Amino acid sequence: MAETVTTDILIVGAGPTGLYGAYCAGFRGLRTVLVDALPQCGGQITALYPEKEIRDIAAVPGSRGREVVDALKAQADAYDPIYLLGRQAVGLTHSADGRPQVTLSDGTVVDAGAVVLTAGIGTFTPRALPAGEEFLGRGLSYFVPDPTEHADRDVLVVGGGDSAVDWALALHPIARSVTLVHRRATFRAHAASVREVHECGAAVVTDARVSALFGDDRLREAHLRVDGEDEVRVLKVDAVVAALGFISNLGPLLDWGVELDRRAIVVDTRMRTTVDRVYAAGDVTTYPGKVRLMSVGFGEVATAMNNAAVAMDPELSLFPGHSTDTT
């Protein structure tokens, strides 16, 4: 028989926004369960860039991803949430009295007073490098969990977004050489980061693409096709990091009946979705003027939690008070 877990708040997504949501719920005295398809907390940060510096959180000028996740989890753990990790939230129904009941991929049912979706971009798979996929795991990778693995290597980073530029900056001090290749002359990454990568001494090749990778038991060489050049550029490389973005999928959440706009969940100013007792916060949401930053997600999930608390008990005040009031 499937296990049933009863709680006040079910958070679907144990990334940064979900972890902060667990703190907000705990501060209001609400029992909380966090569910995530990944086997650990932290979402994309833990899975893709635990060693990168996170710079866009107020008062945290430059902590590594894993440090940010550790701090958020410690903050949440003060209120003893239950973590159900490595399990996907699959189905949603409502009980006779309107309580959401969410079935997980292992058959567990979570009976909650309210659900808060903090699923980020959902499940994600990297966009493949068109050339050299056979070297995956033998020099080609799509993210860098441990930058020290590239110490004293010649590294080629491919891409023009924040991840590509940030990896080039992170690897430059420890690698033998770093070359950043982008198919366009303009970058999607933050202008300050692009300026920094030009100034740090890394080689930057624009209007170019990787046409082939070569090697034997491991990667040895990358060929570049540069616009306007007849000859192929040959680079000696030990590693290629393809930071070309990810294809995201909200999976079963698409079937929950929430209103969607371009595969993001539409919410109102209370972070309510179109499904009763189901809220959402963070990158998974959309509304006019939405800005996808981690710091924005923190504010959204605080709004969601406090509105959910009042929805469950109208006698409560929407404003939870300040943490300093309890000391």
154 is in an annotated binding site: no
Q: Which two tokens stand for residue 222?
A: 């990358």
- Compute the distance between CA of residue 219 and CA of residue 147 in angstroms, rounded to an integer: 18
Q: CA distances (Å), 112 to each of 3, 93, 115, 284, 308, in order? A: 14, 11, 7, 20, 11
- Compute the distance between CA of residue 152 and CA of residue 145 in angstroms, rounded to an integer: 17
Q: At what angle do helices 162-171 and 191-199 cross, to 10 degrees?
A: 30
Looking at residue 32, its amino acid is T
- End-to-end, the C-alpha distance of the chain in Å comes to 45
Q: Which two tokens stand for residue 143?
A: 């993210």
89 is in an annotated binding site: yes
49 is in an annotated binding site: yes
- Note whether 109 and 93 are within 8 A (CB): no
Q: Which two tokens stand for residue 248?
A: 């995201």
- Give the residue carrying structure tokens 């469950």: 312
β-bridge partners, 280: 117
185 is in an annotated binding site: no
- Compute the distance between CA of residue 317 and CA of residue 23 in angstroms, rounded to an integer: 18
131 is in an annotated binding site: no
| 239-242 and 264-266 strand pairing | unpaired
148 is in an annotated binding site: no
324 is in an annotated binding site: yes
CA 210 to chain CA mean position, Å: 27
Annotated binding-site members: 17, 36, 44, 49, 89, 124, 283, 324
Annotated binding-site members for FAD: 17, 36, 44, 49, 89, 124, 283, 324
